[in-house]
Amino acid sequence: MLYIVTYATHSDKYIETLKDSCPDVIILEDTDSKINEIIKFCKSKEEDDIICVIDSFNIVVLSSKSEIEEKFNSLNCDLCFSKDIVPKTILEKYIQYKSLNKYNRSDLNSSMYIGKAHSIVNFWNNNSENYKIDVDYKIDVDNIIFNSCIITSHETDVPDIKSKFWYSELILIIICLLILFLIKDKLFGFKICLILFLEFIHYELFVKHIDHSHTNKYMYCLCNIIHEAINVYIYYLCFDFKCASDNLMLINIFYLINISLVFIFKKCIFTTLKNKILDIDDDFGKVTNNKKYKFFYDINEKYEITKDNNIQTWFSENTFMLILVLFLNLYCFLQKNKII
């Protein structure tokens, strides 16, 4: 049997319209918490009864109960949540990631879900303390499987995006304008601004949400900036190259040390050291610059890191530079011996 259930302690917004659209909707009105009331209600029904939980103030029912039951059965699962809000613009996606800590996870909407009574009871009994599910990959609760997720609630603390929310972005813009104004080499100034911008994005979308001290977070960001600055400098040496022996020696030493450490530790040692500052698993890699760029032009791109801190990943990310360094050495050798 199907029951359509909602929870409300008072009348507001569209609740009367909801009653008109679905006269037999069951409104739980006790003063206990919403989750506890849902659990009590499900326990009072048969285990295989279907419970459709909806929001009381923002939803109307347009389908018949038989149609809802038929659609649920076609899903062939015991519990189905509605998804979180899908962003329509890049700006909306950025606001969600920055304000709601959406890094490496998906959200479920606790105001609309449907499932068998026993599955709902089992689900909330396991997760009702803080509405949070924190798992490495997936959860399997009576045939429901999903990635790491957070259960949203009406108590979610969303910052005021009309004022203080944009202060940090404004400060970044001012700093970048000052850098471009004060540094005569505009290309060099632009590179500095680009490094700061990428690290700022990484901090806002990922680092600041890590449960660690501010000191460690700033140290992590500083290491990232130094790492990126070294990469930019190596690029600069390679593309502004005149076969100077000092430059070639510096480039060769840098990559020789890098490659040696990668083979010794089987992963990028710089990424590993940065991860240790925030107690992140050594196997996790980094959010590449390409992913950071793509986040701002691909609405479907997620801001996430994966367990890819290994030899294969390092070589795939540095293949171009290694080939370039090899050709630079070959070119300087041929030039020194007056072959070209």
Residues 214-232, mean pLDDT to the nearest whole number: 86
Q: Which two tokens stand for residue 20?
A: 């008109």
Alpha-carbon dihedral sign for residues 69, 71, 72, 74 = positive
DSSP-assigned states of every residue in 253-285: HHHHHHHHHHHHHSS-HHHHHHHHHTT--TT--
Supply the mean pLDDT for the chain: 77
Based on its alpha-carbon atoms, the radius of gyration of the chain, rounded to whole angstroms, reads 27
Cα–Cα distance measured from residue 47 to residue 119, given in angstroms and rounded to the nearest whole number: 8
Let me know if 340 is exposed, middle or buried by CB neighbors in 10 A (0-12, 13-18, 19+): exposed
**What's the pLDDT score for residue 172?**
92
Q: Which of 253, 257, 268, 246 is nearest to 313 (CA)?
A: 268
pLDDT digits 0-9 by tens, 119-143: 888 888 775 443 333 333 233 333 3
- pLDDT tier at 173 (50, 70, 90 boundaries)? very high
Say how far residue 176 (Cα) sits from the centre of its chain.
Answer: 26
**What's the pLDDT score for residue 177?**
94
**What's the pLDDT score for residue 179?**
92
On whether the CB atoms of residues 108 and 81 are closer than 8 A, the answer is: yes
Alpha-carbon dihedral sign for residues 231, 236, 242, 246 = negative
On whether the CB atoms of residues 117 and 45 are closer than 8 A, the answer is: yes
Strand partners, 132: 150
* Least confident residue range of 43-57, 144-158, 187-201, 285-299: 144-158
Residues 102-109, mean pLDDT to the nearest whole number: 60
Q: Which two tokens stand for residue 267?
A: 């992963």
- Which is more confident, 262 or 146? 262
Q: Which two tokens stand for residue 300?
A: 């479907």
- Which is more confident, 238 or 241? 238
Cα–Cα distance measured from residue 148 to residue 48, given in angstroms and rounded to the nearest whole number: 26
The DSSP element (H or E) to which 308 belongs, if any, is none
Largest CA distance in the chain: 92
Name, in order, each residue with C-beta under 8 angstroms of 311's C-beta and a sequence gap of 6 or more: 262, 263, 266, 267
Amino acid at 137: Y
Cα–Cα distance measured from residue 261 to residue 277, given in angstroms and rounded to the nearest whole number: 19
User: pTM of the entire structure?
Assistant: 0.62
pLDDT digits 0-9 by tens, 244-292: 677 778 888 888 888 898 888 888 888 888 888 888 877 777 777 778 8
Residues 209-214, mean pLDDT to the nearest whole number: 84
Let me know if 125 is exposed, middle or buried by CB neighbors in 10 A (0-12, 13-18, 19+): exposed
On whether the CB atoms of residues 221 and 210 are closer than 8 A, the answer is: no
